[in-house]
Amino acid sequence: MDDDELPVLPGRLRRLAEELREEGVDVLTGAHDPVATLVELAYALRPQRFEGRTPTYGVILPPPGWALDAAGLIESGVALIALSDVDVQFARRFADGVTTFALRDDDQITHIACFDRNLADEYDLVGLQTSIGGIVVQRHANGQVRLFGPTGVVRWDGVAWHRDPPLAAWMHRLAELAPDLPTEGLRPLLRFAVHELAARRIGAILIWRPTDLSVPKHRHEPLVHNAPPLRLDRAGEAAALAQALSQTDGAALFDRDTALVGLGIRLAPSQDAARTVSAMRGMRHTSARRYSHDDPDALVVVVSESGTVTLMYCGQAYTTIERGDERIG
């Protein structure tokens, strides 16, 4: 959305809109109420302090016509508490962005949504926004501010703005890169890589093999035996795997259904891969890229400790899905 499409804004909101535009961070496209979105983002960036403490915060701006009931949310245990004649600034005090979120409609906070579990992590909030649509804004306990919307996930880490495109855009690009693979089945793994591992700066190599064909001989060696068959389409099991990956070297191997079949795998390139596939930054990326050359039935996702996600297929490395700014290794 261009600045000239916005109404006249007060100084602070105008400066925020200009900053987002200059940084190339689009948070307003698809927002049904751009002004309310800016207002809530501005508050999350600088919430009202109390006794020297900076509070966490979370707010949901649902789309027009959204059914105001717990069934419209992903959690069956949600309680929606109506607020009557409560000032917006005071109503925000009930929303911690962890288990409680404000529901904003126009210029009022009408309800507090109280969930039955912790939704502080990016992985969970992506699921929440996908379920109901609209916009979700959160200020995390670590000071990071995140906005979840139709254009993806936007983060302010206290230094700079970052944006990850929505999962649908990743899936569309994957289908173009690997047309011979059933890439739709990769959705749970990609969501796990982008919104769990990358968001937490957990470096990892994830190998997805949607085939019954054997792994190429001598190309990898499992260093961890009897890994549990954790599935990435189950939130609790994905969390368990993320915890293990944060303490384990080597690659993780998944089957067609994104169930774990191997962990702590040491990758060994063929002589052909070592000769023809050039090195990338760091051993993790180089070994993963060369493995993808040796195993054309696999798609490899590499997460760096800086939070960058790289897709690898048939010896090629794609470091972004944005076509106009794609770097191919």
Do 171 and 281 reside in the same domain of the chain?
Answer: yes
pLDDT at 67 over 70: no
Sign (positive or negative) of CA dihedral 59, 65, 71, 73: negative
Structure-model confidence comparison of residues 67 and 90, the more confident one = 90
* pLDDT tens figures, 175-187: 888 888 888 888 8
The reply to whether 184 and 306 lie within a common domain is: yes
Alpha carbon distance 326, 161 (integer Å): 19
Please indicate, yes or no, whether residues 318 and 279 belong to a single structural domain of this protein.
Answer: yes
For all residues of the chain together, what is the average pLDDT? 87
Examine the domain organization and report whether 111 and 207 are in the same domain: no
Q: How many domains does the chain have?
A: 2
Beta strands in the chain (DSSP E): 57-61, 79-82, 100-105, 108-114, 135-139, 145-149, 152-156, 161-164, 204-208, 220-224, 251-254, 260-267, 299-303, 309-313, 316-318
The CA distance from 251 to 249, in Å, is 7
Supply the pLDDT for residue 237.
95
Higher pLDDT, 179 or 325: 179
Question: Smallest Cα–Cα separation from 147: which of 173, 166, 168?
Answer: 166
Rounded to an integer, the average pLDDT of 104-128 is: 91
pLDDT band at 329 (very low <50, low <70, confident <90, very high): very low
Per the structure, the complete domain to which residue 255 belongs is given by 167-325
Is 321 found in the same domain as 176? yes
**Phi and psi at residue 84, in whole multiples of 5°?**
-120, 120
DSSP three-state, residue 320: coil
**Strands 309-313 and 316-318, sheet pairing:** antiparallel
Label residue 189 by pLDDT band (50, 70, 90): very high
Q: Supply the pLDDT for residue 7.
A: 58
Q: Is the pLDDT of residue 328 over 50?
A: no
Alpha helices in 228-270 (DSSP H): 235-245
Where a domain ends, among 164, 187, 205? 164
Which amino acid would we find at residue 121? D
Based on the fold, state whether residues 96 and 216 are members of the same structural domain: no
- Position 168 scores a pLDDT of 83
Residues 217 and 139 occupy one common structural domain: no
Q: Are residues 184 and 58 part of one domain?
A: no
Indicate if 188 and 238 belong to the same structural domain.
yes
Domain boundary among 164, 187, 211: 164
> What is the share, in percent, of the chain residues with pLDDT greater than 90?
52
The predicted structure's pLDDT at residue 326: 41
Type and span of the H or E element at 268: none
Q: Are residues 144 and 207 in the same domain?
A: no
Q: Are residues 116 and 204 in the same domain?
A: no
Residues in the chain: 329
Residue pLDDT, tens place only, 289-305: 999 999 999 999 999 99
Closest CA relative to residue 198, chosen from 106, 123, 249: 123
Q: Domain ends where: 98, 133, 164?
A: 164
When mean pLDDT is compared over 9-13, 49-53, 137-141, 304-308, the highest value belongs to: 137-141
- pLDDT tens column, 138-177: 999 999 999 999 989 999 999 999 888 888 888 888 888 8
Q: From CA 85, how far away is CA 131, in angstroms rounded? A: 29
248, 263 Cβ separation under 8 angstroms: yes
Instruction: Give yes or no: residues 36 and 55 share one domain.
Output: yes
CATH number, residue 260: 3.40.1700.10
Strand 100-105 and strand 57-61: the pairing is parallel
pLDDT 10s digits, 208-253: 999 887 777 666 777 778 899 999 999 889 999 999 999 999 999 9
